[in-house]
Structure 1
Amino acid sequence: MEEFYNSSNLYKGVTRKNSLINKKIIFRVLGILLFIESAMFLLCAGISLCYGEHDYQYFLYTMLLNILIGGILLLLGRNAEKRLTRRDGYCIVSFTWMLFTLSGMLPFYISGGIPSITDAFFETMSGFTTTGATILDNIESLSHGMLFWRSLTQWIGGLGIVFFTIAVLPIFGGGNLQLFSAEATGVTHDKIHPKISVMAKWIWAVYLILTVVETALLMVGGMSLFDAVCHSFTTTATGGYSTKQASISYWNSPFIEYVVAIFMILSGVNFSLYFMCLKGRGKRLLKDDELRWFLKSVGILTLVITLALFFQNHYDLESAFRKALFQVATAHTSCGFATDDYNFWPSFTWMLLIFAMLSGGCTGSTSGGIKNMRLMILARNIKNEFKRMLHPNAVLPVRVNDHVISPSIIATVNTFFVFYLLCALAGWTLLMFFGVGLTEAMSTVISSMGNVGPGLGAFGPAFSWAALPDAAKWVLSFLMLIGRLELFGVLLLFYSGFWRSR
């Protein structure tokens, strides 16, 4: 991704003196974003009023606080130069996700729906990062406004908070590129339009279409309008929050299970491919290497688990297929819904689901995990190493979609993969230090970093994460954030060289 401006004019006319960070523009953008979140609170207050609930006041209180803080930030950012560097972009994205979470937790906390600050922060971070892990043991006790807010956090967080703003408001100007690069980190970025703002609008249009279509189908299956909208929000965002404690199992409907499973898989696909289809370039969808890798993985895992459930757990064939497809889809796309407790499945299937959680979906989707593009590049590079042992002088490029992957990208993928595993190992060790069991610690860390939701054992799909120690919840909240922003975007802020002057 090219820089917004080159080194020759990097500091032309700037007022930041010798600092590499443009603090004023960061304050200004954060202030504007808090005003946007205030509009979301107003919408949720309206939902509560429609159902005659008193919780609307808590959204209004939080909205007023947001407006106050946003106004202060705008004052601090007045007369800011309208230029953004990559450093500014990374600061804005990381601070935005933290600010949205801190203010987003307030309706839960001040209403008493979630009386613990730790739990309220965890629940909100899990929402915005579309992880879907919850500390709630009685979800139905929340008001419609609070349930809608839970779902809305995931829908906004699905494609990205800043990316959403780029689509709806032209407030960043030329800085769109820097913010897009900071929030949508990954192996590749398919630029379907020269202007980032136009591309954002098209991708959000696809996102909205998927949400509306799923809402209609869920209503056909027997859900109310409210439940259908909330579950469509969290399915297309691959988030997994439900309005019911029993999740999708509450409706006991094979039709609903199939609809949700299909839309989870659809949401795990690179959204730019859907745009190509709308433009009459559907062949791109069928020829995409990453999509084929993803669908093969989902198909193979579903087949193996179906056979295991049929022969070992004695499910009937249709139920075995449906339960396997749903749980594989929810793990592979990092969605987090559940229709069966896989703690009672054959133990080898747990490892298959762990693999699915680590893999995640496709780049350019709402899914978490390492991403199938990276795994595909790793696998093809390993295959080339075997060939190179037999043919030392052979030129063996790694190709994806008939394009040669540069050595620098391969090195970046290798670094990301190793760093991802190291972060998982560090989190695993910390949770065990705080008293979490071996299996539970491993699964909750992988689930948090992959933004999946359920884990194994005591924190499997049938249980909430309320029993975790508070310290573990803060660690997992941090892992959710770095997993959603793909590690380097957040951890870069802890690198001393990021803040040093020239």
Structure 2
Amino acid sequence: MNYKMIRYFFGIMLMLEAAFMLIPTATALIYSEDITPFIITIGILLFFGIPSVAFKPNNTRIYAKEGFICVAAAWILLSLFGALPFVISGAIPNYIDAFFETVSGFTTTGATILCEIESLPRGILLWRSFTHWFGGMGVLVFMLALFPSGDGQTIHLMRAEVPGPVKGKLVPKIKRTAMILYGIYFALTVVQTVALLCTGMPFYDSLVNSFATAGTGGFSVKNQSIMSYENPAAEWVIAVFMFIFGVNFNLFYLMLVKHIREVLKNEELRSYLIICLVATGAIALSTYKTFDGFEHCLRTSFFQVTSIISTTGFSTTDFNLWHIFPKTVLTVLMFIGACAGSTAGGLKVSRVIILFKSIRREIKHMLKPRSVNIIRVDGEVIPEENVKAALNYFALYIVLIILSTVLISVDGLSMETNITAAVTCVNNVGPGFDTVGPMGNFSTYSAFSKIVLSLDMLLGRLEIMPMFILFSPMAWKKR
């Protein structure tokens, strides 16, 4: 285990978090708010960060084990320090609550314990939403884009953090790949901010909502989420961008290099689009009597479908009040999630495709035992190790949801609340149903349950294994 390199790596990460905290600090200055919480937090981050990077180790190699440990521990450390401004400012006095809110931000879940959001300082709210943007594409991916690195080692960091069953490079160099991904991410965020400004939304709100959409997080600066704006044009803009940010970012790169045909043939993208259209139609048909006209019904249905499947979690209606069928459709979307290589959570469409094709192959094998059936996606053979990994992940994923539901049930809340709370946290969605619905929050849970759900969010964002490896005794044994 290269402990010196891990220490150095954490030092860079803490200093990067300190640098990003200058953004809400500047916002607080602009709005004449107290900057003390941010200054103190920046000081603490630098206190731990500077000594860690003072001496760069001679051996800078990062193997697979170090890569998984670095990624898992980094997300915990970011959340532990990132919670400090909430506590110091008094916005969230309880540290467990602040940790829950920060984990929810960095993992782009959007689950909140806050009841009164609009009364909080704008600097604090900007930091809250910026954690979505920072965590959306990946903290470590951002570091790889900024700092020189050896591709042979840092590929382990990228594989541990980027969601989806298959991880790869857009170009031969990891640093260049990370720069391309963040360049696309930043450009799309700017375009959405400008589009929201054109709908009449104020600049601050446009920026904060764009951060939350880009990271598919869902933190809003309004108590009733996007519904508070009563702005149909803004709802359409946000809905479209929620769909866009649920697309594999590799496809945006292919579009830039004019490989449009490959994009159009992409099986995951086509499946993602079909799921969104079918779900929108199903919800619109089952809820049309509750809306004022066709456009309102279509807009709300499409908005909630893209919000849930992209795991953003914004709302323009209290879907908690819908009857069982549309709520069931939304629950299925929570599990599916969007595309691999996007900022979304959930199982991922590509993994669902592999699971269904694996089931179909098993049925064929039972009917024709001597037949040889291989699984293909986009015309390419999926290696058996990837199929096995998808099946193993699904099994762990179901066990995690069941175990979490049992643990948080000690608080005595309804079954619907507990199940959807576990599902929404593991899938990084945000709102569930009943007490944790779009107009509710997670404040009624005990400190124990909030810690369980915080771990769920981290496990879901990193797709389980990196967190398991971090706490596994085998990972810390000498070679």
Q: TM-score range by the shorter chain?
A: over 0.9
Residue 29 of structure 1, CA deviation: 0.7
Q: Which residue of 1 aligns with 2:317?
A: 340
C-alpha distance in 1 between matches for 2:364 and 2:9: 51
128, 137, 145: which one aligns with 2:123: 145
Residue 119 of structure 1, CA deviation: 0.8
Give the conservation status (yes or no) of the 8 Å contact 2:145–2:179.
yes
Distance 1:279 1:201, change over 3 A: same
The residue type equivalent to 2:431 in the other structure is P
370, 391, 405: which one aligns with 2:382: 405
Q: Which residue of 2 aligns with 1:134?
A: 112
Q: Which moved more, 1:245-254 or 1:383-392?
A: 383-392
Distance 1:171 1:114, change over 3 A: farther
Q: Does 1:473 align with 2:450?
A: yes
C-alpha distance in 2 between matches for 1:297 and 1:454: 20
Residue 173 of structure 1, CA deviation: 6.3
Residue 433 of structure 1, CA deviation: 2.2
Q: Does 1:392 align with 2:392?
A: no
Which residues in structure 2 correspond to 1:202-281 (within 5 Å)? 202-281=180-259
Residue 53 of structure 1, CA deviation: 1.2
Residue 282 of structure 1, CA deviation: 1.2
Q: Does 1:43 align with 2:5?
A: no
Distance 1:78 1:314, change over 3 A: closer
C-alpha distance in 2 between matches for 1:478 and 1:436: 19
The TM-score normalised by the length of structure 1 is: 0.93
Q: Which residue of 2 aligns with 1:300?
A: 278
C-alpha distance in 2 between matches for 1:185 and 1:218: 28
121, 146, 156: which one aligns with 2:99: 121
Q: Which residue of 2 aligns with 1:110?
A: 88
51, 61, 85: which one aligns with 2:40: 61
Give the conservation status (yes or no) of the 8 Å contact 1:187–1:409.
yes
**Could you report, residue by residue, the CA deviation over 1:11-66 in whole angstroms, capped at 9, with x for unpaired residues?**
xxxxxxxxxx1111101110111111111112221111111112x12111110110
38, 46, 50: which one aligns with 1:71: 50
Residue 143 of structure 1, CA deviation: 1.2
**Could you report, residue by residue, the CA deviation over 1:87-111 in whole angstroms, capped at 9, with x for unpaired residues?**
1111211111111111111011011
Q: Which residue of 2 aligns with 1:24?
A: 4
Q: Does 1:358 align with 2:358?
A: no
Describe the SS at the equivalent of 2:92.
coil
Q: Which residue of 2 aligns with 1:322?
A: 299
Identity of aligned residues (%): 37
Distance 1:248 1:40, change over 3 A: same
Give the conservation status (yes or no) of the 8 Å contact 2:166–2:386.
no
CA RMSD of aligned residues (A): 1.4
Q: Does 1:81 align with 2:66?
A: no
Give the conservation status (yes or no) of the 8 Å contact 1:190–1:272.
no
Which residues in structure 2 correspond to 1:403-442 (within 5 Å)? 403-442=380-419
Distance 1:355 1:296, change over 3 A: same
Residue 317 of structure 1, CA deviation: 2.1
Residue 285 of structure 1, CA deviation: 1.3
C-alpha distance in 2 between matches for 1:405 and 1:283: 21
C-alpha distance in 1 between matches for 2:93 and 2:148: 38
Distance 1:344 1:62, change over 3 A: same
The residue type equivalent to 1:363 in the other structure is A
C-alpha distance in 2 between matches for 1:441 and 1:129: 20
Q: Which residue of 2 aligns with 1:488?
A: 465
C-alpha distance in 2 between matches for 1:99 and 1:427: 22
Structure 1: segments with no counterpart, 5+ residues: 1-20
The residue type equivalent to 1:189 in the other structure is K
Residue 314 of structure 1, CA deviation: 5.7
**Could you report, residue by residue, the CA deviation over 1:416-446 in whole angstroms, capped at 9, with x for unpaired residues?**
1111000000001101123232110100100
Describe the SS at the equivalent of 2:409.
helix
Q: Which residue of 2 aligns with 1:459?
A: 436
C-alpha distance in 2 between matches for 1:49 and 1:361: 38
Q: Does 1:191 align with 2:173?
A: no
C-alpha distance in 2 between matches for 1:445 and 1:212: 33
Residue 321 of structure 1, CA deviation: 1.3
Give the conservation status (yes or no) of the 8 Å contact 2:100–2:454.
yes
The residue type equivalent to 1:422 in the other structure is V
92, 106, 121: which one aligns with 2:70: 92
Q: Which moved more, 1:360-369 or 1:174-183?
A: 174-183
Structure 2: segments with no counterpart, 5+ residues: none
Q: Which residue of 2 aligns with 1:34?
A: 14
The TM-score normalised by the length of structure 2 is: 0.97
Describe the SS at the equivalent of 2:109.
coil
**Could you report, residue by residue, the CA deviation over 1:309-351 in whole angstroms, capped at 9, with x for unpaired residues?**
015x465322221111111111101001011111111112212
Give the conservation status (yes or no) of the 8 Å contact 2:165–2:390.
yes
Give the conservation status (yes or no) of the 8 Å contact 2:247–2:269.
yes
Residue 138 of structure 1, CA deviation: 1.3
Residue 192 of structure 1, CA deviation: 1.1
C-alpha distance in 2 between matches for 1:173 and 1:373: 26
Describe the SS at the equivalent of 2:118.
helix
Residue 299 of structure 1, CA deviation: 0.9
Give the conservation status (yes or no) of the 8 Å contact 2:115–2:441.
yes
C-alpha distance in 2 between matches for 1:175 and 1:380: 33
The residue type equivalent to 1:104 in the other structure is G
Give the conservation status (yes or no) of the 8 Å contact 1:62–1:103.
yes
The residue type equivalent to 2:11 in the other structure is G
C-alpha distance in 2 between matches for 1:218 and 1:172: 40
